[in-house]
Amino acid sequence: MSVREIHSDNSEKTGNTGYQYKKGELDMAKTITSDNFEQEVLQAQGPILLDFWATWCGPCMRQGPIVEELAQEGYNVGKIDVDQEPGLAQQFKIMSIPTLLIFKDGKEVQRLIGLTPKDTLKKLLED
């Protein structure tokens, strides 16, 4: 179970990563592009969930609110629109969407294809 602490200096500690987030820093999923991928994903402190999606994808539209809820709960979350970032989709061999990747220490540690429940994602992010 994730523990969320809000401190008097407005910092927030989420999960077991030990990283101190500022309140509001993770209120929504980040838009990940080829320009910010290294900084936001490879250099991320703690785990990050990446959602590869597209506007025309029905299951993606159902996965999106789940991903946003995780961001609002303090998890580090990024979204990659495969139509806007075909290079990243190709680099990670995304063949079906939604595809969710979890990175830890700059490496992919989990890949989920298709609509994935919030509880499953939370467990994977907390391991």
Which residues have C-beta within 8 Å of that of residue 53, sequence separation ≥ 6?
60, 63, 64, 79, 80, 81, 82, 97, 98
Cα separation, 72 vs 28, whole angstroms: 6
List the catalytic residue out of 44, 60, 100, 102: 60
Q: Is 60 a catalytic residue?
A: yes
Rounded-to-10 torsion of CA 15, 17, 21, 26: -60
Per DSSP, 109 falls in state E
List the catalytic residue out of 54, 57, 112, 124: 57
Q: Is 126 a catalytic residue?
A: no
Per DSSP, 127 falls in state -
Residue 119, classified by CB atoms within 10 Å of its CB into exposed (0-12), middle (13-18) or buried (19+), is exposed
Catalytic residue positions?
A: 57, 60
